[in-house]
Each structure stands twice: as structure tokens, then as C-alpha cells.
Chains A and B, each alone.
Chain A
Amino acid sequence: MTTAKKSLLAGFMPWFGGQPSTGGTTEIARPKGEPMNEHIVKSYEEEFALLDRKIAQMGGLAEHILGQSFDALERRDPQLAEQVVKADKQIDQLERDIEEQVISMIARRQPLANDLRHVMAALRITGDLERIGDLAKNIAKRALAIAHESHPKPLMTGLRHMGELALSQLKDVLDAYAARNADRALSVWREDENIDSMYNSLFRELLTYMMEDPRNIGLSTHLLFGAKNIERVGDHTTNIAETIHFLVKGTNITDDRPKSDETSSTLFSKD
């Protein structure tokens, strides 16, 4: 697998250049294509720009180490795995940094309306990105644990596909944030179903593999947790999508998300 694709966030544009999205009854009445007015107080405007730069950086980093963690697992590369574990610390630092900035902005600026949604969204997205970083770190640790075992090819292929899907979902959602595009966020939100169904089939395959030979249990368990971690990345990605919808439209997504993770209610017997 290639290393994580850089999201559009790397070339992030000023936050107020968001495209007006279509549809929705609560949409602010704004002439199409017209950029949002800037704050009268320039330093306030700059604080928002800084906040979004930090989120872009954090998102880019989370994407990057997630990709690296898959690579480390697939290539059985302990060095790469170590790198991921280290890089996760940077993500944690960024989270604290963003949190502090948001608290300070709330205290000093008392943001309202879309500004209030903006700082709340920043806080929520940061939390999700931090968890994604942790999950990447956990995958990397498992890569270290099973670096010297032989990997069953079909299972690894399944895991890789699932990882690629989660990664592209994460990239899409970060782009949707940069562009303030609620429709794009909504489509990411809907597609999480695919990750869930891949997880279901991997779950079954891994159980079968374990049942075939108890010596596979150690490796399979690590791979199962790896798959579960990827499935959790998908969930955090949908959280971010929900946050973007709230940020842009001011309302929560009301549909029920299609869910297909059935593993928590699945029981396997030998028959």
C-alpha cells in the first residue's frame, strides 16, 4: 500500500472561502458563491484561520500515520511501526493545543452563531482525530507484535482493502471540512456502511481461520483487533461528518445511519 494520500487540506485555503452548499431549510440566506463577510476584528479572524490550520495539520498527520500503520502491518516493518507510535505524540500535542485555543476563544470572544458552531466543531473534530491517531498507534503496536509471524495472504488483502476505504473516507471528510461541504460530509457518513460490511466478513474469515488451527489464534486475534480498529476509525470519521453537517447547516443529521456491524451479536459454533 502506498503511504497516505495527502488530503486537500495540505493546501488549505482561508476558512471563509467555504462553498455554499445546496439544500436544507436552515441554510443561511446568502447569495450563491459570495464569500462570508470577515470579522470586523482582524485578530479574531486570524484566530479562526489559525484554528483551521491546526486542524488541517492534525488531520493530515492522522491520515499519514494511519496509512503508515497499515503499511507497517502489511510489510511487517517494525521501524515504520515505531515511527507511527512516535508520531501519535504529535497528534496528542496538537489536540491539547487546539483545546487550549478553543477555551481561550470562548473565554475572550464569546463566539455566537456560526462562530460558536465553528469552535465547537473544532473541539469535536479534534477529539475524533486524536482517537484516530490512537487507533493508528494501536495498529502499529500490533504490527510490532506479529512482525515475525507469517501472514495469511487473503486475510491481509481483506484488511488492506478495509484500511484503504477507511483512509479514503477520512481524506474525504477532511476535505469536506476544509470546503465546508455538508453534502460531501453526508455521503461520507452514508458510506461507512461499506466499512462495516467488510469488517463483518473479515470477522467471519478470521474466526474460521482460528477454528481451522488453534495455532492461528494469536495472529488472528491481533488481526481481528486491527480490523476492529479500522472499523472504529470509520466511526470517528462519521462523527466528523456529523460535526461538519452541524457546522454548515446548524442542525444535526436526522436520518438513521445505515449500520451493518453485526459482529457484536454474532455467535459462532463449529457446525
Chain B
Amino acid sequence: MLNVTTPELERPAHIGSASDTKVVAKDVNVYYGEKHALHNVSVNIPDRGVMAFIGPSGCGKSTFLRCINRMNDTIPICRVTGKITIDGEDIYDPSLDVVQLRARVGMVFQKPNPFPKSIYENVAYGPRIHGLAGSKAELDQIVQSSLERAALWKEVKDRLNDPGTGLSGGQQQRLCIARAVAVSPEVILMDEPCSALDPIATAKVEELIDELKKNFCIIIVTHSMQQAARVSQRTAFFHLGVLVEEGATNDIFTNPTDQRTQDYITGRFG
């Protein structure tokens, strides 16, 4: 039977609507010791879509990204105030299990960082420690479907026991994405996932992001304006620790409302 519905086309209608909001940040401030790194950031991040954070180096976009899975907790001098909720649940609630949170909020970093283990183990590690698989067969299934989702399965299915570090840069990054996807997260944070990749590998990751956004809430930090424009539906521009402007990607890149946004994306910053 022909399935003529195209969820892709239907999505924009509800993106941004309150019911589809996944992550809500309200008045988030971050301090590194004395330094006030992030000022009163409030933003709603929609589910099943891609939001891009752009801005010059040191503007706070990565800092904010790292608040969403409490990665900043690992920095002793870092202090976060304000409120961040995922599906309405406060992620800074003292009773919340941070390890569980990080299973719900996966992260992919700038430099591919596979574990020095086999391809199989890289993907199986998360599901195993979170007890997501009841049997070896089930684990095999998770590994395969994660690698498939990361568009890597065909390339590695015959060498699952080779070390993950032996793959090319682009394949390593997709392996890291497979690893993130394996624990069935709800939100995937990507901190410049393509900056170390060539254009072909970048295109593969971007195609992957397009696929993943059907099921996940994806937040990507990127220095490439074109990448933000290509992959995201909403874009937020940060500058000097302030969220300057947030809106539909199309509007931000054709008709931004703030002078600072315009200057940044058109290459006019002094």
C-alpha cells in the first residue's frame, strides 16, 4: 500500500508549539568562578527537530549546550542558576540521577572520540551499563540498529571486532553518533560534530541528522553558518554570553531582526 503521508512536510506546522517543546530553559546563568559566562538565557527547544546554536568563539553556546546534560557539573568552579526542564522535569533537581540524565541526553563531540575498543563494544557499552539488553541477541540487535541509524552498518558489519579507532574520521564520528543513539536518548547534543570532517563525511553526518530528527530532539553547536542553515529548523544566536536572537532558521538567515545577528552571519564582526 502506498503511504503518501510525509511527516517531514507536516512537521513545521507544530514546531515551536508549546505541546512539542522538549527542553525549556528559563533564566539560565552560568558562572566560571568570578566570570559570568551566560546571562539569563531563556529558550524553548522543540522536540523532533534540530536547533542550531551559532555565535563567535567564547559566546557561551557550548557552555549552554553542556548545561543541558549537566556536563558542567564536572567543572568544580562552574555554577549554574536558573531552570532547565526536559518534558517538564527539572534536570537540576537534587534528587535526579545524573547518570540517568546523561542516558536521556546523549552527546557527540567535536573530535570523534571512540573508546579504544572494538566497533561492537563502542556501541554496546552504553546499553550494557544501563541494562537495556536482556540477552546477547538483544544487545546484538541494539548494536546493529544503532549502527544502521548512524548509516555506518554497511561499512562495518564485517569488521565489528576491529578497533573503533581504526576507522576514518567520518566513520569514527558516525560511530560516536551510533554510540549516543544506542541508549535511546531523547535529546542529542552535538558540539561541532563536523568540524574535523571532510565535506563528504560532513554530508553523511548531515544526512544522518536529517534522519535522526524524526525521532529525537537535536541541538547542534556549529561554526558553519551554512551547516546551521542546512540542518536546523530553528537557530539561536549567542553573543558575549547573551542569547541575542532565536527564531526559525529561514528567518534568521534571510532577515534577522538584530543587528548583531546580521553582522555575525554576514561576516561583519570587527
Q: Which residues of A approach B to under 8 Å, CB–CB?
A: 26, 28-30, 36-41, 44, 110-117, 250-251
Contact = CB atoms under 8 A, between A and B. Distances in A.
Interface in B248-270: 252-259, 261-263, 265-270
B226 A28 contact: no
A110 B258 CA distance: 20
Given A28-B262, A110-B226, A37 B257 contact: no
Given A110-B226, A112-B253, 15 more contacts: A26-B257, A28-B259, A36-B268, A37-B263, A38-B268, A39-B268, A40-B268, A40-B270, A41-B267, A112-B225, A113-B256, A113-B261, A113-B262, A113-B266, A250-B255
A211 to B, nearest CB: 53
Residue among A39, A112, A114 with the highest chain B CB neighbour number at 10 A:
A112
A110 B224 CA distance: 11
B156 interface: no
A214 B256 CA distance: 61
B268 A116 contact: no
Interface of B: 225-226, 229, 252-259, 261-263, 265-270
Contacts of A117: 254-255
A2 B266 CA distance: 44
B265 A113 contact: yes
B253 A28 contact: no
Given A28-B259, A39-B267, A40-B269, A113 B254 contact: yes
Nearest to B270: A37
B139 to A, nearest CB: 44
Given A112-B225, A112-B229, A114-B262, A29 B257 contact: yes
Nearest to A27: B257
A114 B266 contact: yes
The binding surface of chain B is classed by DSSP as helix
Contacts of B259: 28-30
The 5 closest A-B pairs by CB, nearest first: A250-B255, A37-B268, A115-B266, A112-B265, A30-B259
Given A29-B259, A110-B226, A112-B229, A250 B266 contact: no
Contacts of A112: 225, 229, 253-254, 265-266
A115 B262 CA distance: 9
A52 to B, nearest CB: 16
A251 B258 CA distance: 15
A36 B269 CA distance: 11
A113 B267 contact: no
A13 B229 CA distance: 32
Contact of B266 (A29, A39, A251): A39
A111 B255 contact: no
26 contacts: A26-B255, A28-B256, A28-B259, A28-B262, A29-B257, A30-B259, A36-B268, A37-B263, A37-B268, A37-B270, A38-B268, A39-B267, A39-B268, A40-B269, A44-B267, A110-B225, A110-B226, A112-B229, A112-B253, A112-B265, A113-B253, A113-B254, A113-B266, A116-B253, A117-B254, A117-B255
Contacts of B266: 39, 111-115
A113 B257 CA distance: 10
A188 to B, nearest CB: 22
Nearest to A251: B255
Contacts of A113: 252-256, 261-262, 265-266
B251 to A, nearest CB: 9
A116 B265 CA distance: 11
Contacts of A26: 255, 257
Contacts of B226: 110
Residue among B263, B265, B266 with the highest chain A CB neighbour number at 10 A:
B266
Residue among B225, B253, B265, B269 with the highest chain A CB neighbour number at 10 A:
B265
Nearest to B225: A112
A28 B256 CA distance: 7
Contacts of B269: 37, 40
Contacts of A39: 266-268
